[in-house]
Amino acid sequence: MCAETLVEGFHDEQAWSKMKYRDFMGKKISILGMGGSSFGDCFRTMSQAEVNEIVLRGLAAGINWIDTAYWYGQGSSETRLGIALENVPRQSYYIHSKIGRYGQDFHEMFDFSAERTLRAVDESLEKLNCKYLDCMQVS
């Protein structure tokens, strides 16, 4: 069980108690994570209502880590997640995004410069409506 992200009144405690967790970098994360690529329309167009339902149901059931990236829909995955997470207690999940991959053209899509990296962190925080990210991965 993962008491560090359990929020009474938010989680479905019966479903939550069935989730398994593992240690990862000093945190207990759910063995099932939520990938955000589909929220950026990578596989089909999704409405904000669909994203909200998936995110809220997943978190309520005990999923406590979310993966996203600017690359997933050129920022739309992060933006949609930020909207879906508006009324979710921040302590109930870990979230990480990725930096390094931006444009559509293969020859110009990567930028690992310090300036772009710092800007990407700020952009992700703004889109996700978060004060902090638990991890930022170089992709």
21-24 and 27-30: which strand pairing? antiparallel
User: What pLDDT, on a 0 to 100 scale, did the predictor assign at position 6?
Assistant: 85
Q: Does CATH place domain 13-138 in 3.40.50.1000?
A: no
Residue 92 in contact with residue 121, Cβ under 8 Å?
A: no
User: What pLDDT, on a 0 to 100 scale, did the predictor assign at position 82?
Assistant: 98
Name the residue with tokens 């589909």: 38
72 is catalytic: yes
| 136: CB partners within 8 A, 6+ apart | 96, 97, 98, 99, 120, 121, 124
Structure-token pair, residue 78: 């992060």
**Cα–Cα distance measured from residue 66 to residue 86, given in angstroms and rounded to the nearest whole number:** 14
Residue in 70, 72, 93, 102 annotated catalytic: 72
| Residue ranges, the chain, pLDDT below 50 | none
User: What pLDDT, on a 0 to 100 scale, did the predictor assign at position 93?
Assistant: 96
pTM, full prediction: 0.90
**Cα–Cα distance measured from residue 81 to residue 128, given in angstroms and rounded to the nearest whole number:** 6
